[in-house]
Amino acid sequence: MDNNTVVVLANPTEPQLAMLEQLPPETRLAVGNSVEAFTGAAPAADVIYNWSLSGDLLREVFLMCPHVQWVHSRAAGLDNVLFPELIESPVPLTNGSGVFSQSLGEFALGAILYFAKDFRRMIRNQMAGVWDAFDITEISGQTVGIVGYGDIGRAVATRVRAMGMHVLAVKRHGPPLYNVDPLVDRIYAPGHRLEMLSRCDYVVVAAPLTPESRGMIGEAEFDAMKPEAVVINLGRGPVIDEAAMVRALSGGRIKGAALDVFDREPLPEGHPFYRLENVLLSPHCADHTPDWMDRAMQFFLEQFERYRKGEPLMNVVDKRLGY
């Protein structure tokens, strides 16, 4: 495919846009953050790249592009991107799944060690000038449960397995034939998640946000967890019932939580998470390595080369499932 027209939804000042100069010279580009920026290019557009803007603008631009053949979203999460016209259309949608998973896997391992070794207590004693020896926990032999066993879940499983931990997982479509994933001891269907949660020392939530997953970790799930359990959320905030989690943390029903995503972002001033001693709070930046945005753009460039050559695209989304 030659002489492609690509519309890129982005603030034109973002530095990674310079990498688009690597596209074939015959490629026509239109970059902007308003509908008006695309009025000239939209009728001939083959590709829409949603780099950094809202789903509302994406919908407007999509409806302006009658010949679009492919839509790509920089982010892995699609809950703010999908809209009925895109879902119903035959146009393939791809996302950035996998680009950021390694760093998120490292964050999960870091959070596990943070609670097992009680780093907060170490820092508090150090700042107070207190010498106070205490016991810590060895993570080898403990169990990690992963809710949403996709690319991020596998990145977590790879790292905790290397530390001698056991891995359980919840996957929407249940266990694969013969349950042969070498990283996972057992895969559960979502309807059996309470059974899995009751066995876990750490619960890593990495599920995408869909109508089925919204609030899937709620009061019953926290009641099923061990008092020593730690919840780590790397997926989407609303997958966990936030009010139920605050109650579980405040009441000591679980040991703690490490959170990178929230119902509202930025987290509102005065939110209980800011003052809870058993919460490790990351402002949705657990995958923000120095080159994370460069890698996201490089992935699109590689995808575009596949598209141009008529090769299968990576990360094709099931738009009805939402991931």
Burial class (CB in 10 A: 0-12, 13-18, 19+), 63: middle
195, 265, 302, 305: the catalytic one is 265
120, 284, 306, 308: the catalytic one is 284
Burial class (CB in 10 A: 0-12, 13-18, 19+), 209: buried
Distances (CA, A) of 245 to 213, 217, 266: 16, 9, 18
Give the residue from 280, 292, 265, 304 showing the smallest Cα distance to 98.
Answer: 292
User: How far, in Å, CA of 179 to CA of 185, rounded?
Assistant: 8
> Catalytic: 265?
yes
> Catalytic: 284?
yes
Q: What b-and-e string marks burial along 115-132, b requiring 16 or more CB atoms within 10 Å of the CB?
A: bbeeeeeeeeeeeeeeee
> Catalytic: 236?
yes
72, 154, 236, 242: the catalytic one is 236
Read off the tokens for 18. Answer: 């310079």
User: How far, in Å, CA of 122 to CA of 64, rounded?
Assistant: 57
The position carrying tokens 């094709």 is 316
Q: Is the peptide bond before 312 cis (omega within 30 degrees of 0)?
A: no
Residues assigned a catalytic role? 236, 265, 284
